[in-house]
Amino acid sequence: MSEIIEKFEPLFNPRSITFIGASASPEKWGSIILSHIITGGFRGKVYPINPREKEILGLRTYPDVEALPEPPDLAIFVIPSSQIPSVLEDCARKGIKAGIVITAGFAEVGAEGEKLQQEIVRIARESGMILVGPNCFGIISRPCSLSTTMPPLYPKQGPFAILSQSGNVAVTIAHKLIDKDFGISRLISYGNEADLHCEDYLEYLAEDTETKVILSYVEGFKDGRKFFEIAKKVTRRKPIVMLKVGYTAAGARAARSHTSALAGSDTTFDAACKQTGIIRARSVDEMSDIGVALLNQPLPKGKRVGILTAGGGLGVLAADACAYAGLNVAHLPEDTIGELNALLPPWWNHDNPVDLAAGAFGTDAVKAIEALLRCHSIDGMILLNLIVALPINIGVLFRDDLASGSVPQEKLRAFEDGMGQLFDQLMALVTKYDKPIIIATELESENIDVKAKKMAGQKGLAYYTQPDRAALVFSRLAQYAEYLRNLSPCSPSAP
């Protein structure tokens, strides 16, 4: 076990925890959060601390930390901020190695809080304890089924780590992933980052074998230089997608009153991202959408994108969005045009975007996709209006059932089977040509979109509804690929 993994073991893999501030009143956070730890199915012992109750939520309580039968690995604090220093001293004496301070009322509220915050950092550091927070939701660690978040959140285990200064934003990111049926390895809401900083967690996540992609929300840095030094090492091993706020004066003011963060210059941050391979996102939606594509799609070897559409307008939207995002809507070479001539009706537009022009369906549409992927002038594809490539009779879809709002079950099944087959074909092409396919399509209703999106994700495809989103995602993948290509080949961990 590496030094960094060992340091974080009591936090992310505790054998036992003590919950300081357990409450018997169901409307109090001291009851709600404890109930989430229990419902989440934490795989270790839980010792609630409460001087008045004998039992809370079916667990035996203890009057104080001193009274615990063993030193637990992790202490979670939900008591008022002013009481934390003395209890933290008790924890240190007991030999507890990690703490999560969920309570707010520290540096974010002014000078008094700042003093209190310095005090808890001093106590923790003197005793060799690591501290998450204060002013946070704490963590989720799926391998040991630990969830300390304020809203209930028990995602399945998966490849995404969420590292967020804000608890609510962390939960919002998690919901985006859960809705697409993806799992989470670790979620960290670190709030004021008094002891452990953003870059400490990042160092851990780089070595964490459960984590493949890191999604990070940041309001400000305690030590920007150190953060970027570490980030530069991490992005060689796994991608970091970052949403950094405070890029306007109003946002910076809000960040300061939220987690006492100093947002800093946005231009400097942007330059630092480019130099360290961090992929920047501008919203939570963008972040999760980029993350999903990074997981299973190969990185494009250049910025030349092929667009296949059924319907010219969507093609125009996509061409604009691609060029706007810095991609090259490449002209097609003669041999590719020739291949497409054999598949498409004579009136097709002979250019990229390739418009099937209501004249190629099913197998022919898939063959056109393959012709584009095979093309040496194309580094990857954006695929619009997927419905025409389904390997089932188009009549099943282009008729009255979907429009009438009630699709008979057997047709829905045929549709889903067809969709599944198509996704398998597409992923086989992705693997064969080692080029990404980014889908931007809308089906006949939002509910069917949700279903198709989940299925696509399970098969490894990146699936969105809007052409501009697909273009943005493709461009971020291309930028990250370019960054990795330009890394010094002498570097030991360069790919």
Q: Report the residue number, 14 or 467, with the smaller CB distance to its own copies.
A: 467
Among 320, 364, 370, 416, binds its own copies (CB under 8 A): 320
Go through 25-48 and write b for each residue having 16 or more CB atoms within 10 A of its CB, e for each that does not.
eeeeebbbbbebbbebebeebbbb
Using the rule CB under 8 A, which residue among 285, 364, 370, 416 binds its own copies?
285
Beta carbons of 88 and 49 less than 8 angstroms apart: no
CA distance 495 to 485: 8
Least distance (Å) between residue 484 CB and its own copies: 26
**Which range binds its own copies by CB under 8 A, 62-70, 126-134, 194-202, 304-312?**
304-312
CB neighbours (10 Å) of residue 373? 22
Which positions from 152 to 171 touch its own copies by CB under 8 A, shown as an x/- string?
Answer: xxx---------xxxxxxx-
Dist. CA 77–CA 20, nearest whole Å: 5
DSSP 3-state assignment of 242?
A: strand
Asked if 23 touches its own copies (CB under 8 A), the answer is no
Tell me: does residue 262 bind its own copies (CB under 8 A): no
Q: Which of residues 378-437 bind its own copies (CB under 8 A)?
A: 385, 394-395, 398-400, 402-404
Kindly state whether residue 302 participates in binding its own copies, applying the rule CB under 8 A.
no
Q: In what order do the strands lie in the sheet with 74-77?
A: 45-49, 16-20, 74-77, 98-101, 130-132
Contact between 323 and its own copies by CB under 8 A: the answer reads yes
Scanning residues 447 to 466, which ones bind its own copies (CB under 8 A)? 447, 450, 466
Nearer to its own copies, 87 or 329 (CB): 329
Amino acid code (one letter) for 227: F
Rounded to whole angstroms, the Cα distance separating 471 from 318 reads 7
Nearer CB in complex with its own copies: 65/317: 317
Complete DSSP assignment for 87-101: HHHHHHHHT--EEEE
CB-CB contact of 450 with 393 (8 Å): no
CB closer to its own copies out of 279 and 330: 330
Q: Does 1 bind its own copies (CB under 8 A)?
A: no
State the Cα–Cα distance between residues 96 and 72, nearest whole angstrom: 6
Residue numbers 90-119 binding its own copies by CB under 8 A: 104-105, 108-109
Which residue type, as a one-letter code, is found at position 53?
A: E
Residue 350 or 376 with smaller CB distance to its own copies: 350
Contact stretch for its own copies (CB under 8 A) within 59-67, 87-95, 221-229, 242-250: 242-250
Residue of 13, 53, 127, 247 that binds its own copies (CB under 8 A): 247
Shortest Cβ distance from residue 377 to its own copies (Å)?
14
Q: Which amino acid is at 233?
A: K
* Closest distance to its own copies from the beta carbon of 136 (Å): 11
Question: Residue 66: is it exposed, middle or buried by C-beta count within 10 angstroms (0-12/13-18/19+)?
Answer: exposed
Binder to its own copies among 69, 112, 446, 486 (CB under 8 A)?
446
Q: How far is the CB of 443 from its own copies (least distance, A)?
A: 9
Count of chain residues binding its own copies (CB under 8 A): 86
Residue 124 region by backbone torsions, left for phi larger than 0, else alpha for psi between -120 and 50, else beta:
alpha
C-beta neighbour count of 362 within 10 angstroms:
16
Contact flag: residue 349 with its own copies (CB under 8 A): yes
Q: How far is CA 151 from the centre of its chain?
A: 18
Among 12, 62, 217, 463, binds its own copies (CB under 8 A): 217
Say whether residue 364 binds its own copies (CB under 8 A): no
3 binds its own copies (CB under 8 A): no
| Rounded-to-integer distance, Cα 463 and Cα 456, Å | 6
